[in-house]
Structure 1
């Protein structure tokens, strides 16, 4: 959780227009530049002369981050990567001395870059191993088949953890209070939580540039919990599309069991903000590149080569998720079903080598192209022209500018810059864009012709429709696309993410923020008091919420803390729980001098007694049959749910059910109870954490607190802790009592922005137990 001091510092800078004095630490896998060792001078002492070359790829990311320079001081952290000599040949890593590394580090620090030097084994295990063979396929909905050796996968994971730790150490070394730390992509998913443990008050953002899979896919990852918890160390996590953010939230619910909202995840007492931030391109850079003087002659050459032909252009990396095979099948189907276009339409497909190149895929691609050209081509005409290499930038923009159709058929994609660059290059031609609905840009580019790349006939029809589109409609669609691209740029993406991060840190509605428990003040009041009353809920307060109620066994440190508190003759310590009396006695009965209230105040056991007092003896319990019948109906229809019978209440649990379906069924069940039971019976329905409980209206935790206050009239210190709605009755009773406000401490367990009548909060049961242990020190 970010402290109020840090939040105030950041937001004051923003409101005062002095954001340039606050720094953003941008953490990317690679630094923005490739270092070039120009020369080595040996006299009078050895010195190295460096230059920096803009790194190929990720230009959109670095353009967005660079645009923040106008408001913020930008600093970069990343792996230094390959070092080139003056002839731009890689320098052998084994020949790089410590003196050379130090020289490069000093040079990069002048450019506000903190470089990391990784050993070959570290980089291979982290990047080539875990990132590219485990995470990348999974994020693109490919269940890997390359990591079949468990020992190899274990080594990859160990290197992934190690490299994430190296990044964390580097950030900690350069961090200054007030910095914003912005971490990028799946290479560094453990860094947010590692950083949170070292810098609890740091402001941390995380953006995922890749797709994020649904829980049905992500749950296949052996280290799924570690990855999700690592990400949740951030204050804000951003995704390219709404569906990706929804998938992440669903994973946190289904795999980790955390409470979530459509906009966030409740993690260790803090609400992690989850947002959608569609990334764009550097429009000014693309506009300058397409108008470069070398582009026009190449456009003329392409037009001459394909005179009187309609040009469909495709440009993709050669990996399976880019859908190049599906594109060729669709183009073949187009030539088959629309013979009038044979000889008049060409597909120019440019493929660049993928980071994980598949020779099998390349062979299949070549065979398919040969088949199409052999079937529909002739001596004068070749339908498919394939270029498998990195093409010159001028050629690329010339090709996008002369094309009549842009065809993108990715079967899974994060951001697809080709689609945006194609739109920028079509300002004169207005060529339609055919776009796979599985790309990250599909939700933003509504005027494109959307296709399912697996539906070959559907894509073929889309090509035919695009070729026959009237000029006015083409112009109208292009103007809509152009407006979207120019309004949502890489610069606006970076600016919006940082602004939202600041908003999430500076909760505007401060009235809803519950301050963190001031332990020094609490301890001072505790020591000064002569008689103390200490009240604790059990589930979610002294122990974490668990899926199976019988598994909520108290840890040894809790029993020790309770024993220490009850041993003080000035203390009266009570467990006020919804649990049945048998469970409380079994788990906590060994603590001498502990008082109990079971089943929300239905049963009472004084600290100096062995007998339970049944406060419901004269209460009619015939309503339980009707409630049991309704709960049974929903249990039969909700897999994983079950009924817990207590002496004075009945609880329907759905924590083990599907989270979304369980919540839906709980709402239906609650409505059923409120319409069929509540109007005619003296009971109430309590909505707890993944459960519904029906109990008599005359019994609740608030009534027990009133009873205990009467029996302890001399108490000049009252501490009360709880975590859910049933505990709000205790807080309400204390606030309405005649005690002065500095006499009682109502403390909730959970996020600071949860709605509560408590005056304080702590993040977890573990923190509360630590405070209990310290009270008597």
Structure 2
């Protein structure tokens, strides 16, 4: 009998809703169903006090185990250390990084609480797979409780250079926690190299091909780029929901071309610079006026964090200024919405858009880029304009790769994408789809679990 998979993430979602949620949920649920696994994490609820015992339930073949957090723990662990400190630091935004020792103590405390609630549920032959920056210390806390099972950790966001990492007062503790895992996975090889540089130069450790040694332990580490459920997402674009959205939008656009951007409302996504590039396109291409429109979908995220509130106001004002400057009675240059759109509808919107604009300033992977390509009609596909600083750029060389800091380059790529001949669009799309089908989410999951087991 194969080992049971235990997946741990900051928050868990419905097993039944995973195909519509996409991303990590799809990858985990398929594996958990296959191995009759356990999914552990925060319930998404706050209580008067954090709970030490997991609430266990069953959804089909998958066991769900959740804990509640107090508002104080949630604010300090999640909104505080994870998202005011680690998130901006790991996205190279030192100017937005806040260091607060009380937040770090809460981060440690919540990870300790997670470990205490999870350990009684474990079996001797479990494979434990921990996900993302919220849970760096979980492996150490489990080892402290005597857990000896195979432990894997996957970081979904970028890993910073040592010059930035060492600004974190707790940098040594954070990296030390990685060495309690048996296997660590990063999105791209550059992230592995950044950790290797820190291990060699700051810890005096040893680095080899696929392993590192420090703190008296050897850590296996590799890049495992995350994919998407490519075939399923392509089908979404042509499903009844996707087709209805496609036809509705094409009727609304009439003969206009649409640029689409879909991102959480986050400063790492480069949304203001993206609007600057679109504004420059309108300045330099008068013939595009009334012929092209830009739809930016940006669901609100972490609205309680001050940096996100400020960013939202800046973006709204910027979109209004561009519309006021260039808009016409029958043409609005930018349509900016904060609505979260279900994946099946979104696939239809992607299919109706001539250009997919994905220009984060820094991103671990970016699955929107892959979903946009997967949703296209191969007979008349759109063109992806992609930041070279997204992890996806390592695999998607046939997109138009741009430097998101170079406004003129992005504006030029938008015009190139908008006017690209059909044969070139088909050729680029065919090559991109080959890669997406080969390196899909099931392949990512299989490779990581084989390496861990």
TM-score (norm 2): 0.92
Counterpart residue number, 2:309: 359
Aligned residues: 449
The corresponding residue for 2:121 is 174
Matched, 1:239 2:186: yes
Matches of 1:73 and 1:140 in 2, distance apart? 35
Secondary structure at 2:262 match in 1? strand
Offset at residue 135 of structure 1 (A): 0.7
The Cα shift of 1:374 comes to 2.7
1:266-285 mapped onto 2 (5 Å cutoff): 266-285=213-232
Contact 2:187 2:391 in 1 (8 A): yes
Work out whether residues 140 and 211 of structure 1, in 8 Å CA contact, stay in contact via their aligned partners in 2. yes
Distance 2:373 2:154 in 1: 25
RMSD: 2.6
Partner residue in 1 for 2:47: 93
User: Displacement, 1:200?
Assistant: 6.4
C-alpha separation in 2, matches of 1:185 and 1:299: 34
CA drift of 1:276 comes to 0.5
Superposition deviation, residue 268 in structure 1: 4.0
- Match among 2, 11, 15 for residue 30 of structure 1: 11
The Cα shift of 1:474 comes to 0.7
* Contact 1:249 1:264 (8 Å CA) reproduced: no
Aligned residue for 1:65? Answer: 28
Kept in 2: contact 1:321–1:410 (CA 8 A):
yes
Out of 210, 227, 233, the position equivalent to 1:286 is 233
What is the Cα deviation at residue 66 of structure 1?
2.6
Unaligned runs of 5+ in 2: none
TM-superposed CA distance for 1:69, in Å, is: 4.6
Partner SS for 1:112? strand
Shift of residue 375, structure 1, vs aligned partner: 2.6
Q: Which residue of 2 aligns with 1:447?
A: 398
Question: Residues 324 and 28 (structure 1 numbering): CA distance in 2 closer, same or farther, change over 3 Å?
Answer: same
**1:347-398 superposed Cα distances (whole Å, 9 cap, x missing partner):** 1111110224623222222232223223322222221121122235444222
Alpha-carbon distance between aligned partners in 1 of 2:258 and 2:96, rounded to the nearest angstrom: 37
The 8 Å contact of residues 27 and 442 in structure 2, kept in 1 or not, is answered as yes
Q: Secondary structure at the match of 1:353?
A: coil
* Structure with greater proportional helix content: 2
Is residue 358 of structure 2 the alignment partner of residue 408 of structure 1? yes
**CA deviation after TM superposition for structure 1 residue 324, in Å:** 0.7
Deviation at 1:230, TM superposition (A): 0.6
Q: Which has the larger radius of gyration?
A: 1
In structure 1, the partner of 2:83 is: 132
With the length of structure 1 as denominator, give the TM-score of the two structures: 0.55
Is 1:228 the equivalent of 2:175?
Answer: yes
Output aligned runs, 1:732-743, within 5 Å. none
The aligned runs of 1:463-612 (5 Å cut-off) are: 463-502=414-453
Greater RCO (Cα-Cα under 8 Å, separation 6 or more):
2
Alpha-carbon offset, residue 213 of structure 1:
0.7
CA deviation after TM superposition for structure 1 residue 108, in Å: 7.1
1:5-24 matches, within 5 Å, as 18-19=1-2, 22-24=3-5
Contact 1:108–1:114 under 8 Å retained in 2? no
**Displacement of 1:97:** 11
Q: 1: distance between equivalents of 2:267 and 2:87?
A: 12
Q: 1-side partners of 2:334 and 2:386: how far apart? A: 19
Correspondent of 2:319 among 338, 361, 369:
369
Partner of 2:265: 318
Q: Does 1:258 align with 2:205?
A: yes
SS in structure 1 of the partner of residue 114 of structure 2: helix
Show structure 1 runs of 5+ residues with no match.
1-17, 34-51, 83-91, 503-777
Matched with 1:80 is 43
In structure 2, the partner of 1:121 is: 72
- Cα deviation, 1:129-164, whole Å, max 9, x if unaligned, reads 11111111111111255747xxxx222111111111
| Corresponding residue to 1:341 among 260, 284, 288 | 288
